[in-house]
Amino acid sequence: MLALNNVEAMLLADRATGTANPDLDRQRLLLRAALADRTVLGLGEHASDDTRAQAQDAARALLDWDCEHDAHAGLVAADASQWTEYPVGYVRQEYGAHLERIRQPLLGDATSASSPTRTADSPSAAGPRTAQPPVTPQDGRHMSNAYELYGQAAQAYDAGRFSEAAGLYERAVAGLEAERGPDADATLQALLEWGLACYNLGQYDEAEAHQRRALDGRIRTLGSDHGDTLNTRARLAEAIGAQDRFAEAEALARENIALGEAKDWGLHQSVIASRLALAWLWRRQECWAQAAVLARDVVDQFRPFGEDYPYTLASRHLLATCLRHTGDLPGAEEQAVLVYQQRTQKLGSEHPHTIAISLDLARILCDAGRGTEARPLAEQTLATATHALGDGHPHTLGLRELLSA
């Protein structure tokens, strides 16, 4: 708030002298939007409709200004299609870049607005990505090699090239540790995302190792209930659950939920994601009905973020899987079709997450006795999976099994 007031004062002084400073105009828009966003996140479910609308309007004002002036500090430009329905995500990218440049927070730490979360290849782990800034605080002009590697890793991850991403993250982490230190925000976030890449490769023990390091660092630097810490703990719970250590994983997810709810963050992204992780753990244990009830609640909690919001899609995917196993095939199909359409449009047909929902939709259609619809979808997806993922990938094998039945 103090920073915003200072900018406002400088703009008033400029007007009085008849001068103009576009950089200050832009900074005011950024700080207003970031403050409005963090107010909504801090209030959680207590945020009024007016407060949420003001945050959206402030985000749109920044996005429109940057589109008009071709300005952005983060890796993803303002005119990128991903911001059209999610302008708040652009605010978080740009404010994260702003904090990296000045190396100190201006608007407080009500929650995590600058740290990204990426989608992992399971129905439970998904989230919006806020790109890291393309400048380093060391020189303020060019990205260091470590930041370049981090950006390349993020791009490979988002494209579904997880093996490539894992190798790039490994190099980025080493460089960031050397440049910034082991507990720097960028280092810890790269560690977390390296773990997610390993998770998608089925390397769950390695994913756990990286995410434990990230969680320990978050607790040391931010505390146990900071938004970034909560997000990291949720991802760790999934990596542990993927190794069938369900009691340990569920304890972490429940700890996250309790910590968030104690701060009145019941509808904070990281807390809802922890409920999603809990539902996914029940699904792994084939507690289908129990998982379906929680997954449906999570879908409703994420819907205000947008129908194409990655967490919303992950929740629907999980719900579709659970409904299929409880015998509600019409409900399962409804959820799966929504996810299939959004992922095909947003990620493309060759992305592993699109292939995963295509396989599950084909299974639902088969269970419903609609083989004439399921077979063309499975055949088309098999050709895509073979090309994009290889013959030995679990999705490819699942499609072959379905077609041979």
CA atoms of 226 and 222, how far apart (whole Å): 6
Tally the C-alpha atoms within 13 A of residue 121's C-alpha that lie toward its C-beta.
27
Encode burial over 333-366: b for 16+ CB neighbours within 10 A, e otherwise: bebbebbbebbeeebeeebbbbbbbbbbbbbbbb
Percentage with pLDDT > 70 across the chain: 81
Q: What is the pLDDT of residue 113?
A: 35
Pick from 278, 207, 214, 223: nearest CA to 249: 278
- What is the C-alpha to C-alpha distance for residues 137 and 335, in angstroms, rounded to an integer? 44
Annotate 46-93 with DSSP letters as a single string: G--HHHHHHHHHHHHHHHHHHHHHT--SSSS-TT-GGGSS-HHHHHHH
pLDDT band at 148 (very low <50, low <70, confident <90, very high): confident
256-292: per-residue pLDDT in tens? 999 999 988 888 888 999 999 999 999 999 999 999 9
pTM above 0.75, yes or no: no
Q: What is the pLDDT of residue 186?
A: 86
CA 137 to chain CA centroid, nearest Å: 25
- Residues present in the chain in total: 405
- pLDDT tens digits for range 221-257: 999 999 889 999 999 999 999 999 999 999 999 999 9
Please give the domain boundaries of the chain with CATH numbers for all domains: 1-114 (no CATH), 123-285 (1.25.40.10), 297-405 (1.25.40.10)
CA Rg value for the chain: 22
Helix residue ranges, H only, 143-287: 145-158, 162-180, 185-200, 204-222, 227-241, 246-262, 269-284
Q: How confident is the model at residue 17 (pLDDT cuts 50, 70, 90)?
A: low
Q: Is the pLDDT of residue 7 over 90?
A: no
